[in-house]
Amino acid sequence: MDNFTFYSPTKFVFGKDTEQQAGALVREFGGSKVLLHFGGKSAEKSGLLGRVRESLKGAGVEFVELGGVHPNPLDDLVYEGIDLCRKNGVDFILAVGGGSVIDSAKAIAIGVCYDGDFWDFYSGKAAPKKAVPVATVLTIAAAGSEGSGDSVITKKDGMVKRGTGGECIRPKFSILNPALTQTLPAYQTACGATDIMAHVCERYFTNTKNVETTDRLCEAVLMAMIHETPKVIADANDYEARANIMWAGMVAHNNIVGVGRDQDWNSHGIEHELSGLYDCAHGAGLAVIMPSWMDFVYKHDVMRFAQWATRVWGCKMDFADPEATAREGIKRFREFLHSIGMPINFAELGAKEEDIPTLVKKFGLPEGGRTGGFVKLSSEDIAEIYKIAAKASL
């Protein structure tokens, strides 16, 4: 196991009606003038925004509002948010929504405290050190952004999707009411579930040896997702299954199950080019990419894939042919994703095989460069994974 630091100082307030505590929590963490940041009309229509506004007013917290966050959040709204915060002396940002809204709020939070262009943090020119405090009222179990110091934004010019991270943008508190996710359509619910499972897999496939505790914790989250996700696809109002998925989504991404090991985030990177170019849902893109990445890399550590296949997917170990067990695990993963309504190839996602050279170019590896924590991929390898993804079938 490698040395590590684990620090997750977010206060999670979980359960029914917890959004009514928003105002008191903002006060507890020192906020007095809030930017209320949100997405489209669903939070307004459902009454959620109204309840949050009431809670803020009840606690004597002033606020300004900025809605309109796009599912793949764009830089132009971030610039608008930074201006709005500066003009109004905002000292706290409350994101009401899913990962996109939260990521947009985080970008605004670091942008307000930075003299240059906030995109510097996403292009790798600067690292976030200071931010306006951020908190969340989560409405989608997916990104794990409610418990992480990460943010992903898309630059409209060229549709480039990039991420940044830092302790200063980790939420002070996150309100997790599973009932708020009950209005989500099945497709978006499944996209969220796929994202959660991918967050675990990106940590699970590692070259670090002797990580049994975190292996078991990763497997636990995956098994819970396999058990709970079909329930919410069958019945959107299954509060209990929503609750299990919502907690799994946080645990999957605050890194408690991934400490002390090399991780591999190539599936996320390879997917980002798909959702950047086609504006598809991140989770749907992951459903197409992640098993294809596995097809491409499993021979690098057959026994790790066989462990995953047997422990998580209940495959019988084929001692004469462990590769067959590894492949069976990947097959069951793809079948599971298909069963919850996810696309598994380019055609089902709405991507085009002829765009592969564009996708690889946008991925932007330098000539001869390689990237990855489990298997270091070249541009040619990435093209190969897109090709597998293009033609994948059950």
Task: Write out 287-322 in H/E/C secondary structure.
Answer: HHHHHHHHHHHHHHHHHHHHHHHHHHHCCCCCCCCH
Pairing of strands 92-97, 62-66: unpaired
361: number of CA atoms within 13 Å, CB side? Answer: 8
Among 3, 115, 319, 367, indicate the residue that binds a second copy (CB under 8 A).
3
User: CB of 332: closest distance to a second copy in angstroms?
Assistant: 18
Of 37 and 242, which CB lies nearer to a second copy in the complex structure? 242
User: CB of 145: closest distance to a second copy in angstroms?
Assistant: 17
Residue written as token pair 């302790």:
167
Of 223 and 324, which CB lies nearer to a second copy in the complex structure? 223
Write out the binding residues for a second copy, residues 216-245 only, by CB under 8 A.
216-217, 219-221, 223-224, 227-228, 240-241, 243-245
Contact 125, 15 (CB under 8 A): no
Of 210 and 393, which CB lies nearer to a second copy in the complex structure? 210
Which tokens belong to 146? 């409610």
CA distance 294 to 392: 12
Q: How many residues bind a second copy (CB under 8 A)?
A: 45
Using the contact rule CB under 8 A, the part of the chain among 97-105, 214-222, 320-328, 383-391 near a second copy is: 214-222
Among 40, 163, 230, 260, indicate the residue that binds a second copy (CB under 8 A).
260
CA distance 106 to 143: 13
Is residue 26 near a second copy by the rule CB under 8 A?
A: no
Of 112 and 198, which CB lies nearer to a second copy in the complex structure? 198
Of 201 and 349, which CB lies nearer to a second copy in the complex structure? 201
Of 42 and 208, which CB lies nearer to a second copy in the complex structure? 208
Residue written as token pair 């605050």:
254
Using the contact rule CB under 8 A, the part of the chain among 215-223, 268-276, 283-291, 345-353 near a second copy is: 215-223
Using the contact rule CB under 8 A, the part of the chain among 12-20, 68-76, 116-124, 347-355 near a second copy is: 12-20
Contact 73, 154 (CB under 8 A): yes
Is residue 358 near a second copy by the rule CB under 8 A?
A: no
Is residue 15 near a second copy by the rule CB under 8 A?
A: yes
Write out the binding residues for a second copy, residues 37-96 only, by CB under 8 A.
none
What is the x/- site pattern for a second copy, positions 169-208, by CB under 8 A? Answer: ---------x------------------------------
Query: Which residue in 139, 135, 85 sits closest to 108, CA to CA?
Result: 85
Is residue 8 near a second copy by the rule CB under 8 A?
A: yes
Of 123 and 213, which CB lies nearer to a second copy in the complex structure? 213
Is residue 381 near a second copy by the rule CB under 8 A?
A: no
User: CB of 349: closest distance to a second copy in angstroms?
Assistant: 29
User: CB of 179: closest distance to a second copy in angstroms?
Assistant: 11
Beta bridge partners of 94: 36, 135
Query: Which residue in 186, 379, 147, 156 sits closest to 281, CA to CA?
Result: 186
CA distance 197 to 253: 10
Is residue 306 near a second copy by the rule CB under 8 A?
A: no
Q: What is the arrangement of strands in the sheet containing 92-97, beginning at the earlier edge strand?
A: 62-66, 33-38, 92-97, 134-138, 173-176
CA distance 325 to 5: 35
**CB environment 130-149: b (16+ within 10 A), e (fewer):** ebbbbbbbbbbbbbbbbbbb
Of 18 and 72, which CB lies nearer to a second copy in the complex structure? 18
Contact 288, 346 (CB under 8 A): yes
Is residue 251 near a second copy by the rule CB under 8 A?
A: yes
Is residue 166 near a second copy by the rule CB under 8 A?
A: no
Which tokens belong to 35? 């930017």
Considering only CA atoms, give the Rg of the chain: 20
Instruction: Using CB under 8 A, list all residues that contact a second copy.
Output: 1-16, 18, 178, 209-217, 219-221, 223-224, 227-228, 240-241, 243-245, 247-248, 251, 256, 259-260
